[in-house]
Structure 1
Amino acid sequence: MKPPNPIPLPEFAHVPGTNARHPERAFDVFHDSVREGMGPEDLRDTLAWRAGWHFVEQGYFWEAHEVLEPVWMALPQGGAERAFVQGLIQVANAALKLRMNRPKAARRLCDIAAGHLDGLPAEIMGLRIETVQRYLEGVRVRANL
């Protein structure tokens, strides 16, 4: 999925235990793009969804979780889209744990993420599952070194 412009990047990547958190309302512009009653097609166009994977690719893992959570919460229970977004959140969490030098936690989160991604259609909300799985495998490899 190519991130449409503009997607504002945070001033810094938060790493718990290393630097300060972002200000309380720093992600409101992303959260406000998600509204109750939106379906997967509507959510696909939100700033929160468009920023989520872009943040992961740019190394903003904590921030990716922050912007993807409202998308996940808005999706219907039991749907492929919800499982996919939950998998993306766990990919971001695994990469964050790896950055925090916690490879055991990263490996555990890789397994959880893979479980959410398993058996899904090839593409969901404009993002190919294979792209996410390749990224996840890279995190897993680095966590096993």
Structure 2
Amino acid sequence: MDEHTRDQSVEPPPAGQNPPGWLPKENRWEHDTLRQATIHGVRLTNAGDYHEAHDCFEDEWFNYGNGTLEKSFLQGMTQVAAGAYKYTGFDNTAGLRKLLDSAHGYLVGVPADFYGVDVAALRDDILAIRRDPSRAQSLRIALDGQYPSARDVDLGYAASLP
């Protein structure tokens, strides 16, 4: 575990849930900052704040080396947010499809539930949006079995990133 990915303020998963990334014997996340970025990024995505969500995921991916599961996950999440932003902000269907193809490639090897994200459902959503791009406008990502929306703290987190 890298000390630069530690943040003791990050909460554990809901009771009874032990997604990959959670270390139950140690009662902490393997990479707290990844969980933190994921919480904020998912909430922002679900609220339609795709640019800010992209920033949350992208900033965190630089903490991980090439070929790591964490980096693949974060790059996939970044591409999903970027694709939704291209489509909803600029009506760029080709850009959406290209970014979703990339996202799917990154997420294909990630566990079905990773750091609380329902990656299996997200992969299915990516394929459905590829077929019907208008579905990008209703993209929602499950986190800990729920579909949380953004709060002021999430926008503040995104704004604080370099």
The TM-score range, normalised by the shorter chain, is 0.5 to 0.7
Q: Which runs of 5+ in 1 are unaligned?
A: 1-34
Q: 2:4 aligns with which of 26, 32, 37?
A: 37
Higher RCO (CA < 8 A, seq sep 6+): 2
CA contact (8 A) 1:81 1:124 kept: no
Q: 1:139 aligns with which of 129, 135, 147?
A: 129
User: What are the Cα deviations for residues 88-132 of structure 1, in whole angstroms up to 9, with x where unaligned?
Assistant: 000011111111111011111111111101122222222121132
Q: TM-score, normalised by structure 1?
A: 0.66
List 4+ stretches of structure 1 deviating above 4 A.
none
Matched, 1:59 2:48: yes
Q: 1:90 aligns with which of 63, 69, 79?
A: 79
The secondary structure found in structure 2 opposite 1:69 is helix
User: What are the Cα deviations for residues 33-56 of structure 1, in whole angstroms up to 9, with x where unaligned?
Assistant: xx972165322442x321101111
Matched residues in 2 for 1:93 and 1:139: separation? 14
Matched residues in 1 for 2:3 and 2:62: separation? 9
Q: TM-score, normalised by structure 2?
A: 0.59
- Percent of paired sites with the same residue: 28
User: What are the Cα deviations for residues 61-112 of structure 1, in whole angstroms up to 9, with x where unaligned?
Assistant: 1110111122111123311111011000000111111111110111111111
RMSD of the alignment, in Å?
Answer: 2.4
Matched residues in 1 for 2:113 and 2:44: separation? 19
Say how many residue pairs are matched. Answer: 110
Q: Which runs of 5+ in 2 are unaligned?
A: 7-29, 136-162
- How far 1:144 moved relative to its partner? 7.9
